[in-house]
Structure 1
Amino acid sequence: MTARGQHLPRDGAENAEKNSLRPHLKQQWCIPPEQNAAFVCAMEDVLDVYERPVNARFPVICFDEKPCQLIRDVRQPVQAQPGRLQRQDSEYERCGTANVFGWVEPLTGRRDAWVTARRTSIDYAHALKRVSEAYPDAVQIVLVQDNLSTHSKAALYHAFPAPEARRLAARFDFHFTPRHGSWLNMQELEFSALARQALQERVGDQAALESTVTHWIGRRCAAAIPIRWQFTTPDARIKLCRLYPKMIG
């Protein structure tokens, strides 16, 4: 029994904050370390590169790779009909993995993407050669990429004779996104578009993935959609101030 005027606890305003929690839902992010000099140094380097104007002699390219799981239906999907969505069985067969390499020149909308069976250092070296061949008249290609162990000039020496490896290495000016900072690589936006626009359905083998990616990149290149990056170093120093080391004294 309660005293007069005292209200029993309700599942209402007092518990609104608790009830708004949805532990079954979550978002996945690359969470950067706080007060990390290495992170902000690499971040500001990449952001400064993005402020450079279009220059055909020194094009700015964002490069990345995307692993893709190959999945095949074990039961034929029921095709969509008026008033009824397509139905797909939850059971599937795993058929291995493949990889998609891709690059984009954000300010001009030039881009490329292609499928490989693996993403070893040798595959990476051949990918760099493909990028180099796309810009035969460039003095040097400014390359923004993630900080992976395979992403180094040394990979070129694993794949090519020393003279060719040295020639290719000299063609690139490497800039690396910080660890846990892959969101700074604009090629991530391209892969997001690929996933949304072309990879919603299951793809069961590498040949089918190659066909899908080839068709998608063909339409993407024809549109020549540029990327207008808005986040700058001054923005980072305000919005991401927690990442910067605290000065003492």
Structure 2
Amino acid sequence: MLKLTGEERAELEGIAKGTRGRQSIAAWKVQRARALLKCDQGEHGPGWPDHRVAAAVEATERSIQNWRKQAVLEGPLSVLQRKERSRPPTPRKLDGEGEAKLVQLACSAPPEGHSRWTLRLLAARLVELEVVDSISYETVRRTLKKTN
């Protein structure tokens, strides 16, 4: 059962309007704030059932159930926060120096027996030259596309 305090309700009403001064608020936050206000079973809240809230804010009943559960367990404002990443982003294979070596290699003459450099040949040569331990041809493609 979700019961909002006056302070929480005021905060959610401000977000549900869609703007804070001159700054606009993301649509997903506005949608969730509106849903929580309609779920409120406190003295100032309408206490609508999930199916009615879902129809009013154009969401699924399952989403409403999840948002209500999170609001009860972690506080209503937690529903308006993005989740932290469970693991940090992986470090880049090629730093600026590695990218420069790749571009230099791609601009050089192709190996004997080949008319041009392929992405796989470039990836293999970067490993041979010990620029990186391992690299996929897709990473080579993305890096070269970025530099053009």
Structure 2-normalised TM-score? 0.31
**Larger Rg belongs to:** 2
Which one has the bigger strand percentage?
Answer: 1
Structure 1-normalised TM-score? 0.21
- Per chain length, whose mean CA-contact separation is higher, i.e. which structure has more relative contact order (CA < 8 Å, sep 6+)? 1
